[in-house]
């Protein structure tokens, strides 16, 4: 399961995931609002190894019993800082539907205290990995 805040980002992740897995047996599908739910239900019914979803549509399909998350072993929360800005209540609802024992990854360009606190409350033995920019800006440039 890859959860992302916007439909556009979900489609981008879906496109890349399908390209990366084209020579495998993996089946990917996106679950987003603003498009036909029936097509998404059919795709889920046919089976999916990787589901890319936005929180709102995923909650809708969970409530309609069209998707079950008890077999989710790896959860990725992309742009977690943006999902927090949009209201993390849906994400918390989704997490409660997932099994307790799974690998969870939160990706965020920024790490506001709210996300740090939430991560600490939801995860067991979380590890923080920070990437610093490869190059930094120079203080001054000398022209010769």
Tell me the DSSP string of 87-101: -THHHHHHHHTS-SS
Q: How confident is the model at residue 142 (pLDDT cuts 50, 70, 90)?
A: low
* pLDDT of 126 over the 70 cut: yes
Taking residues 88-116, report their average pLDDT: 81
Q: In this structure, are residues 67 and 61 in contact, taking their beta carbons and an 8 Å threshold?
A: yes
pLDDT attached to residue 144: 64
* pLDDT of 135 over the 70 cut: no
Q: How confident is the model at residue 42 (pLDDT cuts 50, 70, 90)?
A: very high
* pLDDT of 6 over the 80 cut: yes
Question: What burial letters (b/e) apply to 103-122, b meaning 16+ CB within 10 Å?
Answer: ebebebeeeeeebeebbeee
92 CB neighbour count, 10 Å cutoff: 13
pTM score above 0.85: no
């Amino acid at each position: 399961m890859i959860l992302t805040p916007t439909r556009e980002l979900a489609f981008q992740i879906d496109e890349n995931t399908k390209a990366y897995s084209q020579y495998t047996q993996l089946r990917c599908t996106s679950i987003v609002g603003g498009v036909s739910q029936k097509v998404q239900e059919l795709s889920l019914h046919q089976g999916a190894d990787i589901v890319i979803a936005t929180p709102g549509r995923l909650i809708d399909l969970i409530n309609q019993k069209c998707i079950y998350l008890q077999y989710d072993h790896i959860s990725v929360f992309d742009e977690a800082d943006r999902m927090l800005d949009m209201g993390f209540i849906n994400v918390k609802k989704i997490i409660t539907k997932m099994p307790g024992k799974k690998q969870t990854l939160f990706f965020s360009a920024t790490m506001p205290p709210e996300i740090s606190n939430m991560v600490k409350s939801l995860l067991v033995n979380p590890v923080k990995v920070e990437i610093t920019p490869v190059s930094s800006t120079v203080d001054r440039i000398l022209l010769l």
